[in-house]
Structures are given as C-alpha cells and as structure tokens.
Structure 1
C-alpha cells in the first residue's frame, strides 16, 4: 500500500523543521508533499531541504485549497493528511493505517481534551460532534480533526465539495458518511503547536464555524434541518390561529404567513435534498 503524506503549510517553517525529519525517518518510502499556501517565510525552502515535494501557491488560497492541490498531486493509494505545525506526530500514522487495513475508507485521529486550542474551541467542537452524530446516526468523536488517512480514490470523489477554507475536515467526513464509506476514529494525543500562532481568527472564523453547524445539516440530509423548521412554523401558525379564532373569531394574515412559511421551508428542504443527491452523484461518476 503506497502512502502519500500531504501537509498544508502557511508560514510553518519552524513546524516543518521538526515534523519532516520525523516523517522521513519513520516513513522513508512515503511520498511527502508540502503544499506551500503563499507563505512569506522559508516554508518552501525548509520543505525542499528535507526532501519533500513542494507545491507552491503565489498567494494564500486557504487550507482546504491546499488539501485539494495535495490530493490531486498525490500518487499513493492512501493519503495521510496532517498539520505542518508539529501538533501531529509521524509515530501515530501507523495507527491510522492499521485501522484503514481493517476495511475502513477513512480513519480520523480524534483529539482528546488536551488537544483543543482552548475551552471555547473545545466546547464548539463538542457541539459539532454531537450534531454530526445525530445527523449521521454514527458516533463522531472529532469532526474537525485535520489528522486523517483516506483511500485516495475515495477522497478524490469529493474534491468538488470541499471548501477552500478551514472546514474541509467537516465536509470530507460528512461526505464519506453520506456515501456509505466506512469511517473510523482512533484516539491520539496532540502536541502544542510550534512557530506562528494559529491562523484561526476568533471573530471572523467564529462566525464561519457557526455556519458549519448549518452546513453539516444541509450537506448530509437537508430535510433533517428544514423539516423540523417547517414543522415549528406550522405549529406556531396553528397555535396563533387557534388564539385569534378564539378571541377574534377570524383567520388573520399572520396565521396565513406562518402557514405559508411552513410550506415554503418544507419545499426548500425537498429541493435541497435533491441537489445534495445530485452533488454526490456527480462525484461518483
């Protein structure tokens, strides 16, 4: 089983100086690809110096864009994705590959509590995990972990779905579940990152991560989001109509608006469900 290791990197020269030697020592036969996402430091030079294949972008396109470039260029049967900041250890790749050999199509390294950047990030990730578990009917231990191994042909089926930003782990995980490709989790410790601080911006990316919650639902099964919302509007409309009929003896415009909203939301859910099915069908052609 040929293995390619893809590391998206933006200004991660210091992290790569620690990560790449360990990768080369423990996985000498693996193809190592560093996708330099418009770095302004010595990221590309450090990667080249350690024998990695470097794909450089003239400007930053985003973490997800780097993942897609690396996945297209990888020649291995299995692609391992890991961060370039030193948080993920080459020693844990074997655990992912061993699990993959059991028949899974994707294996994700699930972080424990100490692997979360801070309390608020840990709380948000816990919320994402619970929501995704409810949507899929499977236990999802870490929806946003960037440390994972996947069969290359399976992963490439969903490149058209992956965003250019930070939520590629969410999208790829839900896409595998949606297409009935088995996914497994293994618990791994995560080290403290080295080099520059996190590229996550609390305010801007906080809103972006909040939108991930809605994206999870619409990506996997839109009706699970739209049907309850439509039912809520219908029940509110029914209650309001009952109250106005009892007190005023009439059917009001607000009741009509609430009933109309319920129907529209439900129909949007049906259309979204069809669009989602077509999106996955495109990837399987």
Structure 2
C-alpha cells in the first residue's frame, strides 16, 4: 500500500485467547505500522490478558452482542483509510493480507479472501457458502467467489456507509458484499486457504440453518427484490392456473383454491414492487453521501 494510506486491522473475538496468542505476534511482525484493533465480544477467558501483552487497541463489549456488532464497533473506532477484517480463530492467515492489500492497491473498494477447495470450513458450511454464492451471482450477474468470507479489505469511508444495514450476527459478509455491488462499488477476490480453526466454533448448525432462508431473503431484498418476488409470484400464478385447468376439466368450476393462488401471485408481485422502491431509496441516500465526500 502507498505510505500515505493508513491501515487498520479489526479482529472480532469471543473466547479466542488461545488463537490470539499466535495470531497477534504474527500480525505485529507483518504489519508493524498498522493499527490493530481487537474487539472482545464479551469473552470469559483470558482474552484481556493476551491483548494486554500485545501492542493492540483493545475494545470490549460488556456482554456478547454478536460478530457483526463487534465488526461495527471496530469499524467505528478504526483510524485507517483501509480496514482489514479477519477472524480471531486462526483460520485467516496474516500472511495472506499482503496479497489482498496488493489487489486493493489496484483501485478496488473491497477485496475478499475467497476460500479454495481443501479449506477446513466444514462440509455443511462449504455447501451453504456455495449455495449463497451462486444465488448472489445470479442476483448481481457477476461471479461471486465467496459470499460469506469474513476475511476482507475495505475502503473505510465506503464501508461505514452501510453500518446501519449490518446485522449483529454472523451474516455481515453477505450484507456488505451485496451492498457494495448494489451501490456500484468495485469488488475483487484473492484465493486463500484456511486451516482448521483453533478452539471451538460458535456456529450452531441447527440454529444457523434457520438463518439460511433469512439470508436468502436478505440477499434478494438488498439487491434486487423483483428477482426474488417475481419468480415466487410466477409459481403461485402457474400453480393457480394449473389447478384451475384441472378443476375446470374435472368438475367444470372455478374453485376457491385457484382464486387464492391467483391473489397470492398478485400480492407477492406488488410486495416486490414496493420492496424495489424501498431498496432504491436506501441506495439513493448512499449515492448522495458518496458524492458529497468526493
């Protein structure tokens, strides 16, 4: 990065003292001039003591608020023009940051570390990430290599424009990626490999499986609501049409079920139109803010 560009590294952490003992010294060696911020999300281990032994800015939540909340706390406190977000569990390798910053230097607004095959993310998580990425790629009509990776470099001023949209939980990467695409900001990917994490994961398959559908809905409503609601409306309409044809041929009448399906198709279509307008209003304000900053 150019010498005039200040770099901040934000690391959300909850009970990750064992991995921080390894990660923080490596970061200090590789990025000696960078501001390193550890946001302790209500840890009950000795994270405070570990951070006290390193030259880092230590911020603490009094109780667990979520990974996304820690990201927002770190982004607000960061002084750098570019912010590197990485996990504290040892899966994100500090040695990969130089390649990501090199790509960022080319003028991109966000560079994401895209996990390659062989990375230790867990089978169910890898499958979910693949589904998310394919859906998002269809939404934006561009290839998204890794939608849910939390290892990324962002232009701080542009990232902060979307803080109010970011959830407090684990789906902030999805939200920020789609927001950058929707706002017309440039996004690039750098391949990375993630080793097995140190310590126990905070992800719960059953609980986070419920978030699967919520994230899909969020992707649709953030970027292009009609791409989500129009197919659903079409399914209702075609089902109603098919059922009407069946009942007309079998009993010569138009049933209440067919009417209900047709109404569902109309209402879903109208909801999509309203969502499209609300989405446009969100990004209109962001475009105005970006223009004022320039």
User: Normalized against structure 1, the TM-score is what?
Assistant: 0.96
The CA deviation at 1:118 is 1.7
The CA deviation at 1:248 is 2.5
Equivalent pairs, count: 284
Say if 2:195 is the partner of 1:191.
yes
Structure 2 Cα separation of the partners of residues 47 and 283 of structure 1:
36
Task: Select between 19-28 and 207-216 the one with higher mean Cα deviation.
Answer: 207-216
The CA deviation at 1:244 is 2.1
Alpha carbons 2:38, 2:57 under 8 Å: kept: yes
Task: Report the secondary structure of 1:274's partner residue.
Answer: helix
Q: Within 5 A, what are the aligned runs for 1:37-186? A: 37-186=41-190
| Equivalent residue number for residue 256 of structure 1 | 259
Alpha carbons 1:160, 1:283 under 8 Å: kept: no
| Equivalent residue number for residue 238 of structure 2 | 235
Structure 2 Cα separation of the partners of residues 4 and 259 of structure 1:
53
The CA deviation at 1:95 is 0.8
CA RMSD across the alignment: 1.2
The CA deviation at 1:122 is 1.2
| Equivalent residue number for residue 13 of structure 1 | 17
Task: Select between 234-243 and 51-60 the one with higher mean Cα deviation.
Answer: 234-243
Structure 2 Cα separation of the partners of residues 54 and 264 of structure 1:
50
After TM superposition, where is structure 1 displaced by more than 4 Å over at least 4 residues in a row? Answer: none
Task: Report the secondary structure of 1:113's partner residue.
Answer: coil
Say if 2:16 is the partner of 1:2.
no
User: Normalized against structure 2, the TM-score is what?
Assistant: 0.93
2:272 alignment partner, one of 264, 269, 274? 269
The CA deviation at 1:191 is 2.1
The CA deviation at 1:105 is 0.3
Structure 1 Cα separation of the partners of residues 146 and 48 of structure 2:
30
Alpha carbons 2:111, 2:190 under 8 Å: kept: yes
| Equivalent residue number for residue 24 of structure 1 | 28
The CA deviation at 1:268 is 0.6
Structure 1 Cα separation of the partners of residues 252 and 140 of structure 2:
45
| Equivalent residue number for residue 219 of structure 2 | 216
| Equivalent residue number for residue 245 of structure 1 | 248
The CA deviation at 1:209 is 3.0
Structure 1, residues 133-183: CA drift from partner, whole Å, max 9, x if none?
111111111111110000000100100000000000110001001111010
Structure 1 Cα separation of the partners of residues 27 and 156 of structure 2:
19
